Structure 1
Amino acid sequence: MKFILDNWYLILIALISGAMLLAPMIKGGGVGALSTAQAIQLINREKAMVIDVCEPEEFATGHVKGARNVPLGQLEEKLPQVVKNKALPVILVCAKGARASRAVGIAKKLGYDNAQSLSGGLTAWRAASLPVEKA
């Protein structure tokens, strides 16, 4: 008890640093979410498919270059038609990352074990000055 009282500031620093490590997961980055750099490596090295789970109107205003649009509500039905090889890495993208995180669960349920979401979504992609195209 004396140690805790004498070193309360060390304990406080440990708690704050732990909270800072957990903050990205709570904000929506999530476990298993890809950074933009990791996504580019998967696209270039492993021919990953980029699937945008936004609605068609959102997709038309801008999306990751080369992405295919499969709205989240239709993912279970249409993903097997768009990505036939379940061994390929699949990068799921939406505007900010929340829908893509949900889409990962659906994709994994369908057998796409290499499905991951893009942390921060299209917002992070644009912030990294990566190519965006409009439909």
Structure 2
Amino acid sequence: MSHIDAATARSLIEANPDVLVVDVRTPAEFGSAHIDGAINLPLDQVDAHLRRVVTDAGGRLLLICQSGNRAERARTALSDAGLADVVVLDGGMNAWIAAGAPVNRGRARWTLERQVRLAAGSIVLASIVASLWIPAAVFVAALAGAGLTFAALTDTCAMGLLLARLPYNRAAGVDVEAALARLRRSRTSG
């Protein structure tokens, strides 16, 4: 079983203290709302420290992001690298919150998905308006549309990956060493 729903995830966390919740969203998203006790290890850091995560992880990992897509990418990478007991919360924080599960709330920040919609929409709008004076600017709108289509077909988002690197999304920061240390502790305590 590689995916579980919010009710099953909640039961799993309550029944098994060895389950480690790893939130792969940006630090800003994590800071606005997260599951109590979760470790914030953004997707790019999972990729950058893949070998250490696989070596240090002990027990079952429950991966979570906003909607489930980034968590699934992390699960695939971790599974391909040899980590067996990894599950994804289907629907991510959206499903967790919709199920009425408890959430630690901080300062409200825009999710990465919302930022992508704003950036893509702004690019299209600005290029269409600019095309009134510079007709070739309409091709920028076409490029944005092609990028969104590609993102939907491949379930990847280059714009999201770029936006995740902005200072706004890294404002709270993430302590990768502390996150990896918690993974190590879960291995030695289990």
TM-score, structure 1 normalization = 0.68
Identity %: 34
- The answer to whether the Cα contact below 8 Å between 2:46 and 2:53 also exists between their aligned partners in 1 is no
- Please give the secondary structure, in 2, of the residue aligned with 1:106: helix
Q: Which residue of 2 aligns with 1:19?
A: none
- Pick one of 65, 88, 94 that aligns with 1:123: 94
User: RMSD of aligned C-alpha atoms?
Assistant: 2.3
Cα deviation, residue 108, structure 1 = 1.2
- The answer to whether the Cα contact below 8 Å between 2:71 and 2:88 also exists between their aligned partners in 1 is yes
Q: 1:41 to 1:125 in 2, by over 3 A?
A: same
- The answer to whether the Cα contact below 8 Å between 1:96 and 1:124 also exists between their aligned partners in 2 is yes
> Is 2:60 the partner of 1:60?
no
- The answer to whether the Cα contact below 8 Å between 1:97 and 1:118 also exists between their aligned partners in 2 is yes
More helix by share: 2
> Is 2:104 the partner of 1:133?
yes
- Please give the secondary structure, in 2, of the residue aligned with 1:54: coil
- In structure 2, what is the Cα distance between the partners aligned to 1:100 and 1:83? 19
Q: 1:79 to 1:40 in 2, by over 3 A?
A: farther
Number of residue-to-residue matches in the alignment: 104
Q: Which residue of 2 aligns with 1:101?
A: 72
Q: Which residue of 2 aligns with 1:92?
A: 63
Give CA-to-partner distance per residue, 1:9-65, whole Å, 9 cap, x none: xxxxxxxxxxxxxxxxxxxxxx72111122123223332100000010111111111
Give CA-to-partner distance per residue, 1:58-87, whole Å, 9 cap, x none: 11111111110000001030684598344x
Q: 1:105 to 1:69 in 2, by over 3 A?
A: same
Identify unmatched segments of 5+ residues in structure 2. Answer: 107-190
- In structure 2, what is the Cα distance between the partners aligned to 1:79 and 1:52? 18
Q: Which residue of 1 aligns with 2:9?
A: 39
Give CA-to-partner distance per residue, 1:87-107, whole Å, 9 cap, x none: x11010000111111110112
Identify unmatched segments of 5+ residues in structure 1. Answer: 1-30
